[in-house]
Amino acid sequence: MLKIVAGLAIALGLAACDAVNTLTEGSAHARAVESDLEKATGIKPRVGFNWNNGRLTAVTVQYPSLIESQPLGELAKTVRASVSNEFKQTPDNIVLAFSLSK
């Protein structure tokens, strides 16, 4: 019984380390994307991400307002390049969003 409990505790500990590692590394990558895009556009976005089984499935880049300094197509290319470069892999989906305030 003691061996089972010890084995379970070790397995849970290893699983938790991977989750914590993914979260901390992902957060560092997201901050790097935010900084990179702020330099490119002059406005700092919020970047969120979703990992599934070690694969980057989605990254969301949300700006607090419309970016009028460059066309949407150019902005999309800039976002895609920054996300792929900083996260070291290309996600399945990149969501580019803008908040339209009153």
Domain ranges of the chain: 2-98
Among 85, 25, 75, 73, CA closest to 45: 75
DSSP secondary-structure letter at 44? P
The topology under which CATH files domain 2-98 is GMP Synthetase; Chain A, domain 3 (3.30.300)
Q: Does residue 22 have a pLDDT over 90?
A: no
Cβ neighbors of 13 (< 8 A, separation 6 or more) are none
- How far from 20 is each of 6, 15, 46, 98, CA to CA, in Å? 21, 9, 21, 30
pLDDT in tens, 38-78: 999 999 999 999 988 888 999 999 999 998 888 999 999 99
The structure's pTM equals 0.75
